[in-house]
């Protein structure tokens, strides 16, 4: 066989790689034929599979921590189970654990490309064989998440009071800092009169910390608000085309990889036999 009669001289790793490359080059027709056949077969199988539709919703802005936690919460049983109870036709005939796992796997939560981590816009996608059901399930997931995220009435009152106090403190600090900037003489101590100036650096630091606290309290009050839904779930009018392309590409890569691996085994076998001879 041609592969077994390949050169067995050792030229180092680069020489061996060149030898194997020459073997593949002589077999390029077989490799191309396998790639084409596998791609066509994969595309045909994908076309015979049930069509899927993807509903997409946009949420944000959310910081990185809230973004990660939100994705985990939306896939958790307290959110998923009530949705499955309402949509009993979703994976009908399977156990609750299987339906829960399927729905959680169908929910794709990710940061929108190019969106900053500090105030990112996120996408929530759901794939299903029925376009209207995909949109309806995604709406229900969002409703359950908003309901679970909403603060209790007493908590909301406490957060609102803390927010108002923080905003008043920030305003007072800003006014004091502005006044000090207008009067540079007030920043120097007067030993005769016993005057000690306020530390403007500490005041600026405190104002920055207060501003961060205001953002945190605002996010807490916004929890459960539909303001976080930047764009509601869409109603897809066309089936997904990505599945067919990915399936065909995956089939092609798997077939070509298996063929190259077979050639590699046939090529390396005689070399190993020669090295093992006394």
Digit-coded pLDDT (tens) for 116-159: 888 889 999 998 888 999 999 999 999 999 888 777 777 778 87
Residue 255 domain-assigned (yes or no): yes
Could you say which of 150, 183, 200 is where a domain stops? 150
110 forms bridges with which residues in the sheet?
Answer: 123
Residue 231 domain-assigned (yes or no): no
pLDDT of residue 19: 75
pLDDT of residue 2: 44
Residue 146 domain-assigned (yes or no): yes
Give yes or no: residues 134 and 99 share one domain.
yes
Which span out of 30-44, 135-149, 220-234, 245-259 was modeled with the highest average pLDDT?
A: 135-149
Give yes or no: residues 20 and 66 share one domain.
no
Give yes or no: residues 146 and 203 share one domain.
no
Residue 229 domain-assigned (yes or no): no
Could you say which of 127, 150, 173 is where a domain stops? 150
User: Are the C-beta atoms of residues 23 and 259 closer than 8 Å to each other?
Assistant: no
The structural domain count of the chain equals 3
E-strand ranges in 83-152 read: 107-111, 120-128
Domain interval for residue 74 = 53-150
Q: Pick the more confident residue, 250 or 131.
A: 131
Give yes or no: residues 33 and 77 share one domain.
no
Whether the CA torsion 147, 151, 152, 157 is positive or negative: it is negative
pLDDT of residue 182: 78
Instruction: List Cα–Cα distances, 155 to 65, 148, 216, 220, in angstroms.
Output: 21, 14, 14, 9
Locate tokens 């897809």: which residue? 236
Separation CA 63–CA 65 (nearest Å) = 6
Give yes or no: residues 71 and 35 share one domain.
no
Give yes or no: residues 43 and 70 share one domain.
no
Separation CA 92–CA 90 (nearest Å) = 5
Residue 2 domain-assigned (yes or no): no
Give yes or no: residues 70 and 85 share one domain.
yes
pLDDT of residue 196: 64
Instruction: List Cα–Cα distances, 70 to 36, 76, 148, 151, 195, in angstroms.
Output: 43, 10, 11, 15, 52
Mean predicted lDDT score pLDDT of the chain: 79
Q: Enter the DSSP assignment of 81.
A: H
Can you state the percent helix, strand and coil of the chain, rounding each to 5? 65, 10, 25
Q: What's the whole-model pTM score?
A: 0.55
Give yes or no: residues 71 and 89 share one domain.
yes
Separation CA 259–CA 3 (nearest Å) = 13
Residue 165 domain-assigned (yes or no): yes
Could you say which of 150, 177, 201 is where a domain stops? 150
Give yes or no: residues 192 and 271 share one domain.
no
pLDDT at 1 over 50: no
User: Are the C-beta atoms of residues 123 and 57 closer than 8 Å to each other?
Assistant: yes
Give yes or no: residues 60 and 130 share one domain.
yes
Kindly indicate the confidence band of residue 17, based on its pLDDT and cuts at 50, 70 and 90: confident
CATH code assigned at 59: 3.30.1890.10
Helix (H) or strand (E) holding 135: helix 131-149
pLDDT at 3 over 80: no
User: What tokens appear for 16 in the block?
Assistant: 């061996």
Q: Which of 55, 21, 42, 43 is nearest to 234 (CA)?
A: 55
User: What tokens appear for 182 in the block?
Assistant: 């207008």
Helix (H, G, I), strand (E, B) or coil at 55: strand
Separation CA 58–CA 37 (nearest Å) = 40
Q: Pick the more confident residue, 44 or 133.
A: 133
pLDDT of residue 224: 59
Tell me: cis bond preceding 174? Omega within 30 of 0 counts: no
């Amino acid at each position: 066989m041609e592969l077994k009669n390949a050169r067995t001289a050792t030229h180092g790793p680069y020489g061996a790689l060149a030898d194997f490359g020459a073997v593949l080059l002589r077999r390029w027709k077989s490799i191309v034929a396998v790639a084409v056949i596998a791609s066509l077969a994969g595309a045909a199988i994908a076309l015979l599979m049930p069509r899927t539709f993807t509903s997409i919703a946009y949420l944000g802005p959310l910081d990185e921590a809230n973004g990660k936690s939100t994705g985990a919460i939306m896939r958790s049983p307290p959110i998923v189970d009530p949705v499955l109870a309402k949509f009993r036709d979703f994976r009908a005939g399977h156990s609750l654990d299987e339906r829960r796992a399927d729905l959680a796997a169908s929910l794709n939560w990710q940061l929108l490309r190019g969106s900053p981590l500090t105030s990112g816009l996120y996408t929530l996608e759901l794939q299903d064989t029925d376009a209207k059901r995909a949109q309806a399930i995604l709406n229900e997931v969002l409703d359950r998440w908003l309901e679970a995220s909403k603060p209790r009435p007493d908590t909301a009152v406490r957060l609102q009071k803390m927010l108002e106090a923080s905003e008043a403190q920030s305003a007072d600090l800003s006014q004091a800092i502005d006044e000090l900037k207008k009067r540079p003489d007030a920043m120097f101590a007067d030993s005769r009169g016993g005057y000690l100036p306020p530390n403007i650096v500490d005041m600026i630091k405190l104002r920055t910390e207060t501003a961060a606290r205001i953002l945190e309290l605002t996010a807490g009050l916004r929890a459960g608000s539909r303001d976080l839904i930047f764009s509601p779930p869409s109603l897809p009018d066309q089936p997904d085309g990505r599945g067919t392309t990915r399936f065909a590409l995956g089939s092609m890569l798997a077939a070509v990889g298996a063929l190259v691996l077979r050639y590699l085994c046939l090529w390396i076998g005689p070399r190993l036999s020669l090295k093992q001879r006394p």
